Amino acid sequence: MLKIQMETPLVEIDGDEMTRIIWDNIKNILLIPYIDLKTDYYDLCLNNREKTQDLVTKQAAEAIKKYGVGVKCATITPNADRVKEYSLSQMWKSPNGTIRSILDGTVFRAPIMVDGIKPIIPYWEQPIIIARHAYGDVYSGVEKYIPEGGKVFLKFPDGSELLVKDLSSSGVIQAMHNSDASIRSFARSCFNFALDKKMDIWFSAKDTISKIYDHRFKDIFEEIFVNEFKEAFSKLNISYFYTLIDDAVARVIRSKGGFIWACKNYDGDVMSDMLATAFGSLAMMTSVLVSPEGYYEFEAAHGTVTRHYYNHLKGLETSTNSVATIFAWSGALRKRGQLDKNYYLEDFASKLEKATLNTISSGFMTKDLVSLFSENAVKVVSLNTIDFLYKVQENLDKALSNLK
């Protein structure tokens, strides 16, 4: 069989633990036999981040700026235990945080829906993709407990002051910020992603209560939509819709899905966990970072699955779900194909996704999905990590030979 050719390399960002093992197997079983895989490789395993003093993370982000598309394996974000475990010279920052700050992007999380695994909300027929503004607000707020009470002021660069509260007794105070520049790039990433996905987009905040802070978000979204995106949206027959966060929550639950929901930082943090659970499982959630300039980085939303990795090291059999990592690869290959006008690559990405979903809906899945699967007519077979990938390969071969 002739392999599919690639013109431009994908930026490949390797990672840690169980997902690193899955990564290598996905390449060997599902990609290299079919594609003349060209990648610009960066090894972000914790040992190599230590060895390069984390330079490799920055190089990987710069490479995404150069080539436009990257795919990333889950990586360890070190804490005090990891510093000991890996004898680190310092507690290196989260690679995702570093890459995000270099690309200035927004993270979109999308559930992978499959026949047999029903969302907890029975009305949801299509995925709901959540876009979280990952900058500012309470995440970089300052706060203080004031045991003695008293007057607290905010002081501004022009010398003016604003009384926050005259506390009559003990209490807590918090101040937070956001920047127009960050809100603008958030809005642009969201509208670009909606065009890319050909999906409606909602944005929600609480501008009735927060008449300056949240209202600023609403105004910037509106301004950027009208000036830069309205025409393109109407050509694709998709819409932008602003509503209050409480109204959005109610509408989301009653909806059929099939839209992008843009959220402020805190709302996005909370709602993405709610959606992941309601759609089934974190192991069936993909994540894509989109920069305002249109650079893309695809990954699974879950971590390195440490518990399974320790079992693997002990020689025990594992049944770790590789679906979100497969979809990270297919998402990146599809995007590469679109940018290079490489139809074969795009088509392969879709066939790989279909083969993966067909594997599960025909009853073959990893352990974590067994209890979620509810198709009575189908006999369920629980597979180990690697056998699941070979089963997907079997279905992929069938899909590819149907083509001829």
Tell me which residues touch Mg ion (CB under 5 A). Answer: 269, 273
Report, in Å, the least distance between residue 182 CB and ligand NAP.
21
Give me the 117-146 binding string for ligand NAP, x by CB under 6 A, dash otherwise. Answer: ------------------------------
List 4, 76, 134, 349, residue binding ligand NAP (CB under 6 A)? 76
* Helix ranges (DSSP H) in 108-152: none
Tokens of 78: 């070190």
**Spatial contact of 289 and 296, defined as CB atoms under 8 Å apart:** yes
* Helix ranges (DSSP H) in 306-364: 306-313, 323-340, 343-361
Which of the listed partners (ligand NAP, Mg ion, none) does 269 bind, with a CB threshold of 5 to 8 Å by partner kind?
Mg ion
3-class DSSP state of 38: coil
Which of the listed partners (Mg ion, ligand NAP, none) does 144 bind, with a CB threshold of 5 to 8 Å by partner kind?
none
CA distances from 180 to 30, 192, 213 (A): 44, 18, 11
# of chain residues touching ligand NAP (CB under 6 A): 17
Shortest CA distance to 269 belongs to which of 101, 130, 96, 111?
A: 130
Element (H, E) at 299: strand 296-300
What length does the chain have?
Answer: 404
How is residue 373 annotated by DSSP? B
Q: Tell me if 272 contacts ligand NAP by CB under 6 A.
A: no
Q: How far apart (Å, rounded) are the C-alpha atoms in residues 60 and 53?
A: 14
Given the complex with ligand NAP, which of 281 and 395 has the nearer CB atom?
Answer: 281
Tokens of 116: 């047999």
Q: Which stretch binds ligand NAP (CB under 6 A): 75-83, 140-148, 157-165, 173-181?
A: 75-83
Given the complex with ligand NAP, which of 262 and 326 has the nearer CB atom?
Answer: 326
Report, in Å, the least distance between residue 96 CB and ligand NAP.
5
4: left (phi over 0), alpha (psi -120 to 50) or beta: beta
Q: Tell me if 384 contacts ligand NAP by CB under 6 A.
A: no
Q: Tell me if 356 contacts ligand NAP by CB under 6 A.
A: no
Which of the listed partners (ligand NAP, Mg ion, none) does 361 bind, with a CB threshold of 5 to 8 Å by partner kind?
none
Q: Tell me if 252 contacts ligand NAP by CB under 6 A.
A: no
Report, in Å, the least distance between residue 94 CB and Mg ion.
14
List 199, 282, 328, 389, residue binding ligand NAP (CB under 6 A)? 282
Given the complex with ligand NAP, which of 20 and 351 has the nearer CB atom?
Answer: 20
List 133, 188, 302, 335, residue binding ligand NAP (CB under 6 A)? 302
Return the beta strands (E) in 120-250 as ranges: 128-132, 142-146, 150-155, 161-167, 171-175, 200-205, 240-244
Under the rule (CB under 6 A), what is the footprint of ligand NAP?
74-77, 96, 282-283, 299, 302-307, 320-321, 368
